């Protein structure tokens, strides 16, 4: 299905294609965590429709999402993208090369920082916030964004991977376990995936209880939740 979706969507820009190819070649072990071609197309379309002056992305990786959005920013628009380099420093090198390309040069600022620290310290507010890092902290990030009014009144938030490979549907997710100290690598990954599924599911349930939130969980890629705050 993914292939059909990609084949029946408009081609992506040369620069985003370059990022996908560089990522597959230079950091193959991590390539899957970057946004896909169809996600990039969706983000680009959203920016074209919303015409945000300011975008914040949490989780840069190789810059695919950042470039997809920055290429469509209106004149004078700016994008800040934050990454703590936890995944792969090679990916950030690809991102920095892409950000220097003439089609986006001067529009993107890369902040090497912890997402939570950045959200607590930034004094700006944004029209579009794309959160795509550190799923167990999604609710914490949401709270800081709301408490510090980091999203402009007409803004939109997007949280990625909110289907978490379908694990959010699993009825028998075990209760919280300490996966960090698990010595077996395979068991560690399974326990970590379960743990993150619990966090993502808690996030999906919680956003529906927030007053004024309009929520759409779009089944694009691994699930992208769009949130707008209704004001009357
Ligand atoms: C899923 S990837 C981001 C993909 C990117 N948004 C895209 O569209 O291709 C997640 C990134 O978040 C970074 N990351 C993980 N935890 C973080 C944290 N606490 N603060 C900042 N960045 C973090 C990782 O280094 C990784 O590069």
- Superfamily name and number for 2-166+212-229: Vaccinia Virus protein VP39 (3.40.50.150)
Task: Supply 108's token pair.
Answer: 């993107």
Q: Ligand 1 in contact with 40 (CB < 6 A)?
A: no
pLDDT confidence band for 179 (50 / 70 / 90): confident
pTM over 0.85: yes
Predicted pLDDT at 107: 97
What mean pLDDT, rounded, does the chain reach? 93
Question: What confidence category does residue 232 fall into, taking pLDDT thresholds of 50, 70 and 90?
Answer: low
Is 111 within 8 Å of 81 (Cβ atoms)?
yes
103: nearest Cα among 44, 38, 22: 44
43 pocket-lining for ligand 1 (C-beta < 6 Å)? no
Comparing 173 with 217, which gets the higher pLDDT? 217
Phi (first) and psi of residue 68, to 5 degrees: -55, -40
CB-based contact 131:159 (threshold 8 Å): yes
How far does residue 178's CA lie from ligand 1's centre (Å)?
23
Kindly state if the Cβ of 37 falls inside 6 Å of ligand 1.
no
- For residue range 72-118, what is the model confidence (pLDDT) as tens digits? 999 999 999 999 998 899 999 999 999 999 999 999 999 999 999 99
pLDDT over 90, % of the chain: 80
Range list of H helices, the chain: 2-7, 14-26, 37-50, 64-70, 89-99, 115-121, 138-147, 185-207
Residue 19 pLDDT class (50, 70, 90 cuts):
very high
Any idea where the domains of the chain sit in the sequence? Answer: 2-166+212-229
3-class DSSP state of 229:
strand
Predicted confidence band of residue 188 (pLDDT cuts 50, 70, 90): confident
Share of the chain above pLDDT 70, in %: 98
> How high is the pLDDT of residue 181?
75
Residue 227 has pLDDT above 80, yes or no: yes
| pLDDT, tens only, 125-177 | 999 999 999 999 999 999 999 999 999 998 999 999 999 999 999 877 776 66
Closest-lying ligand 1 atom to the alpha carbon of residue 61: 27
Q: For ligand 1, is residue 138 a contact (CB within 6 Å)? A: no
pLDDT at 70 over 70: yes
Cα of 175 from ligand 1 centre, angstroms: 26
111 lines ligand 1 (CB under 6 A): no
The rounded Å distance from CA 209 to ligand 1 centre is 27
Spacing, Cα 231 to ligand 1 middle (Å): 31
- Cα distances (angstroms) measured from residue 147 to each of 120, 143, 150: 10, 6, 8
């Amino acid at each position: 299905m993914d292939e059909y979706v990609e084949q029946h969507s408009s081609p992506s820009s040369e620069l985003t294609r370059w990022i996908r190819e560089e990522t597959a070649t230079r950091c193959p072990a991590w390539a899957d965590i970057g946004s896909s071609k169809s996600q990039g197309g969706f983000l680009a379309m959203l920016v074209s429709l919303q015409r945000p002056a300011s975008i914040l992305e949490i989780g840069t990786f190789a810059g695919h999402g950042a470039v997809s959005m920055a290429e469509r920013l209106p004149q004078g628009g700016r994008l800040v993208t934050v990454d703590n380099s936890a995944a792969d420093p090679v990916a950030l090198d690809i991102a920095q090369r892409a950000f220097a390309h003439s089609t986006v040069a001067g529009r993107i600022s890369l902040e090497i920082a912890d997402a939570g620290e950045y959200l607590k310290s930034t004094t700006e507010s944004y029209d579009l916030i794309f959160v795509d890092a550190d799923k167990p902290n999604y609710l914490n990030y949401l709270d800081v964004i709301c408490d510090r009014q980091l999203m402009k009144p007409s803004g939109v938030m997007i949280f990625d991977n909110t289907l978490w490979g379908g694990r959010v549907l699993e009825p028998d997710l075990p209760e919280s376990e300490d996966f960090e100290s698990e010595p077996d690598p395979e068991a560690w990954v399974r326990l970590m995936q379960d743990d993150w599924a619990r966090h993502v599911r808690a996030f999906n349930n919680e956003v529906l209880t927030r007053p004024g939130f309009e929520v759409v969980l779009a089944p694009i890629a691994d699930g992208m939740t769009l949130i707008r705050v209704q004001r009357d």
